[in-house]
Structure 1
Amino acid sequence: MPITSPVLNHPLRMTLAAEAHSRPFLQLDAPESVTHLALYAELDATPDWHLRKLVDLCGCFGVAGPAADAKYFYHDFGRFRLKWECHTEFATFTFAMRHADSAPLAQAFERIPLMHVPQQWLHGLKGKILVAAHVVMEKSGPGKDPDAREIRAVFEGLSLAASVVLQDAEVWSDFLIQSDGFSRFVVRDLGLREYQLGRLVQRVLEIETYRMMALLGLPHALASTTTLNTIEAELARLTEEMVDSDDDTSAAGSVDATGEPDDGERALLRSITGLAARSEKLALDNSYRFSASQAYFQLVKARIEELREVRIDGLPTLREFMERRLSPAMSTCAATVRRQAALAERIAHSNDLLSTRVGIAQELHNRQILQSMNARAAQQLRLQQAVEGLSVVAVSYYMVGLCGYAAKAAKSAGLPINTDLATGLMVPLIVLVVWLGLRRLHGQIKH
């Protein structure tokens, strides 16, 4: 039973299944030429600016443009074919044009599909083109040695890279922007199977595009060097001030009478906090760019790995060229990332050390306060004990007086009592009873 009802399928099943086929490669057959443009999306640009450029180009030829949410577009305009792809940070326009016959390489780079594109539309790409490349594909039989002098003549660079790829093709390039503003690639078909040429050209163009996107992190790394040097010098100065203040003052001298850090410690804390903020801002400004550069670099290496290169005698391979030219730039970006992290860690350690020193000083100050409070409490206890003795005398005095009045009252009632003798005898007894009573009361309160 076929499963075609939308009720049976997961809502994302069709979308996820189509993702693997969302960016098909061009079907190419030598002799043919390709022009590839990669337009970088600036931070202040609107998200759909490259889509509007595509719609404008389609409008020049009376062709309906893609939908507003499209990420891929292909159309055969007759004289040329166009493939448009939308990526996260850039959009690519790949123009392809077939030729009826082969031409010398010097003339082949003059027969480009971009000649059929309106110049007004090209001028509208001002400030957006990051990659512009021409690819010329020529047919050659297996075992036929290429004319190296003819191939070198179409490149202006002195360092040429080339290799046998996929066992049945050759790729030549100097990865240099020529005087016409385009980089150039020569792909020789030595017997590729159907559709292999299209996949090969797509990999080559992706290598060039991802290489340029990866290098976007290098200016950030170079610009960050000056800032990192300044922050490191300032941190070294502040650390030296901390050491000097440790030698000149005791821990108790780092806080004032109220237990707060003194002016010198406050200034150090503000300076270190400012360095931490500047370091964090620098890391936030560069984190995405450096991460993206590493991701693009990994894609470049993956695409080169897929080519399965074999060396052509006397020439470096594409892998060797990238290792010699691109890898150092990526190593610089990675070193800058590590340096930023190490600097942030050192600033945090310095801040912790200063905070610990201030905390120790505050604890010592608090200890001194507690000691003075304990001394005052002991004085109050001794004063209370002295007053307690007077309290026994006072209470006993009043109780003896009351007992004396009672004795006088009994004598007036006719009892044979010597009031003075009775009062004198009761004094020690009353004092003892009052003293024992107060001690018992204190014992109950203490318990």
Structure 2
Amino acid sequence: MINDDITGLQFHPLRDSLYEEMHSRPFQVIPSPARVSHLALMADDIQRVSQFEHLQELFEILGATPPTTDEVCAEYDLGAFRIRREKHLEFTTYTFIHFDAPPRSDPFASTGVTPLPSGWLERLPGQVVTAFHLSVEDSGKSEDEKLMLPRVKSYFEGMRLVGSSPQQGDARVWTSFRLHSDHFGRFLICNKRMSDSQLGRLAQRLMEIETYRLMTLIALPLARACAPDLAKMDRQLAALTQRLSEGGVIDEQAILGELTDMAARVEDYRAKTTFRFTATQAYHELVLKRLAELREDEVSGHLTVTEFMTRRLTPAVRTCQSVGERLEDMSKRIDRVSDMMRTRVELSIQAQNQQLLASMDRRSKIQLMMQHTVEGLSVAAISYYSVGLIKLVMDAIYDSGVSFNKHLALGVAVPVVISSVWLATRKIHKHFLALAKEQRDADLADEKARKEVSK
């Protein structure tokens, strides 16, 4: 018999949240027809708190119970009106779905934000990046494509259309990828054979494609702003490298100053662009994945969504990638040239030190010769004064009645005194030389120990 009781097991504290993470952003179920409006707003933590408070205010205005928990992804059904709010790393998305929109000849005359109270949407905190309307319409299976195209084009204010037939022809998708007179973009889904769940997944993919497309392109103006200065620094660095390769007399301090200035500017650009360029790559990968999931078929005479994205979006991403790689390459080149300059300066300093040491060596020899001369003079002077003192002592002893030959005694004392003074001076000299040798040996031992530690 299998024991189903596992309450005694120790579970990881994140186990439940890991299970729920896979279901945190479920696909929506959208019937046909429906009016959908989608907005993506860049917001910081403070603005996100304000956004949730603003959402609670909407519920109070509509007479519904406001939500109490600010979730990562939440859907709120208000009868014929649904609100979906999702929080992402950099932005927050709002999806407004109006199910009971009155049938009109223009599918964008009524939108997903039509049921919102006047002024509420305009006061939504954050910076709007994506804002577009998506209209879901039923389309007859036998409707003539030639008759449908003029009517669809009128919905997009005569703009050039991008269209495709996703999911093996079960629907038609039309868009212009442009802003219209209401400052919103527009998507039109003409449903043929798709269920509500399939429509929800298709609409979700289109909303993510448009949102991630614009988030991808945010880095393009930044890349374009960096490119001219990078080209200027590249020429400046090439000129410096050429001057170093030619040799000759150069101003090391001036060149190091130029290199330091360029390094500071490059690091400033890297600090401003690294996250943005990395995010661009991530968003672009998401766009490509969502495009692959569409499984588009071509509509005669029109670019598909995938073709349009590949032609327009990919070069922008490559531009950002190129500028990012140029920044990395420029930083490495500046480091290499700086290393060469530091090596050149160190060699120059070593040559100066060698000249200084040679000059010090010559001065030391002169000082040593002068010292020997001074030592000889000192021996003579000390001996002279010592013999004078001995003479005074001898005179005192002789005057006291002791009879001896003063001249002979003084003559004998002179070489003795000179020898004693000379020996004492040499002994002191050897003592100081021994101390200097001990200090030098100690310094050499410390230097050897530091080298071994560094290895």
Could you tell me the TM-score, scaled by structure 1's length? 0.77
1:279 corresponds in structure 2 to 266
**Which one of 327, 336, 340 corresponds to residue 340 of structure 1?**
327
1:326 is aligned to 2:317: no
2:113 corresponds in structure 1 to 114
1:386 is aligned to 2:385: no
Could you tell me how far 1:340 is from its partner in structure 2? 2.3
CA distance in 1, matches of 2:145, 2:174: 12
**Which one of 293, 297, 300 corresponds to residue 280 of structure 2?**
293
CA distance in 2, matches of 1:171, 1:129: 24
Could you tell me how far 1:324 is from its partner in structure 2? 0.4
1:178 corresponds in structure 2 to 180
* Aligned ranges 1:221-370 → 2 under 5 Å: 221-229=223-231, 231-232=233-234, 239=240, 247-248=248-249, 265=253, 268-370=255-357
Structure 1 SS opposite 2:106: helix
CA distance in 1, matches of 2:259, 2:59: 57
Could you tell me how far 1:217 is from its partner in structure 2? 1.0
| CA deviation string 1:70-103 (max 9, x = no partner) | 33332222232221212222222212234699x7
2:66 corresponds in structure 1 to 65
Cα pair 1:30 1:139 within 8 Å, conserved: yes
CA distance in 2, matches of 1:349, 1:223: 26
Cα pair 1:83 1:94 within 8 Å, conserved: yes
| CA deviation string 1:224-247 (max 9, x = no partner) | 23443454566567x389669964
Could you tell me how far 1:213 is from its partner in structure 2? 1.0
2:88 corresponds in structure 1 to 87
Could you tell me how far 1:320 is from its partner in structure 2? 2.0
Deviates more, 1:347-356 or 1:278-287: 347-356
CA distance in 1, matches of 2:146, 2:324: 42
CA distance in 1, matches of 2:7, 2:389: 113
CA distance in 2, matches of 1:393, 1:77: 118
Equivalent position amino acid for 1:129 in 2: V
Could you tell me how far 1:430 is from its partner in structure 2? 7.2
Structure 1 SS opposite 2:113: helix
Deviates more, 1:60-69 or 1:324-333: 60-69
CA distance in 2, matches of 1:52, 1:272: 51
| CA deviation string 1:335-371 (max 9, x = no partner) | 2212222333344444444444444433333333322
CA distance in 1, matches of 2:123, 2:366: 91
CA RMSD of aligned residues (A): 4.2
Equivalent position amino acid for 1:185 in 2: F
CA distance in 1, matches of 2:7, 2:148: 57
1:371 is aligned to 2:358: yes
Cα pair 1:163 1:316 within 8 Å, conserved: no
Cα pair 1:133 1:184 within 8 Å, conserved: yes
Deviates more, 1:431-440 or 1:332-341: 431-440
Could you tell me how far 1:63 is from its partner in structure 2? 1.5
CA distance in 1, matches of 2:45, 2:29: 36
| CA deviation string 1:154-180 (max 9, x = no partner) | 343325231433674443333222334
1:257 corresponds in structure 2 to none
User: Taking structure 1 as reference, are residues 145 and 314 closer, same or farther at Cα in structure 2, changes over 3 Å only?
Assistant: farther
Cα pair 1:164 1:312 within 8 Å, conserved: no
Could you tell me how far 1:212 is from its partner in structure 2? 0.9
Deviates more, 1:162-171 or 1:422-431: 422-431
CA distance in 2, matches of 1:99, 1:146: 27
Cα pair 1:79 1:116 within 8 Å, conserved: no
5+ residue gaps, structure 2, are: 435-455
Structure 2 SS opposite 1:116: coil
User: Taking structure 1 as reference, are residues 188 and 425 closer, same or farther at Cα in structure 2, changes over 3 Å only?
Assistant: same
User: Taking structure 1 as reference, are residues 119 and 400 closer, same or farther at Cα in structure 2, changes over 3 Å only?
Assistant: closer
Equivalent position amino acid for 2:57 in 1: D
**Which one of 144, 147, 168 corresponds to residue 145 of structure 2?**
147
Cα pair 2:37 2:113 within 8 Å, conserved: yes
User: Taking structure 1 as reference, are residues 439 and 116 closer, same or farther at Cα in structure 2, changes over 3 Å only?
Assistant: closer
2:210 corresponds in structure 1 to 208
CA distance in 2, matches of 1:380, 1:434: 22
Could you tell me how far 1:210 is from its partner in structure 2? 0.6
| CA deviation string 1:274-320 (max 9, x = no partner) | 33333322222222222222221111112122233344455433222
CA distance in 1, matches of 2:402, 2:96: 141
Could you tell me how far 1:373 is from its partner in structure 2? 2.0
2:449 corresponds in structure 1 to none
| CA deviation string 1:116-157 (max 9, x = no partner) | 222322333498432222323345687x57625514523433
Cα pair 1:74 1:83 within 8 Å, conserved: yes
CA distance in 1, matches of 2:147, 2:42: 35
**Which one of 163, 166, 173 corresponds to residue 164 of structure 1?**
166
Structure 1 vs Structure 2: percent identity of aligned residues? Answer: 37
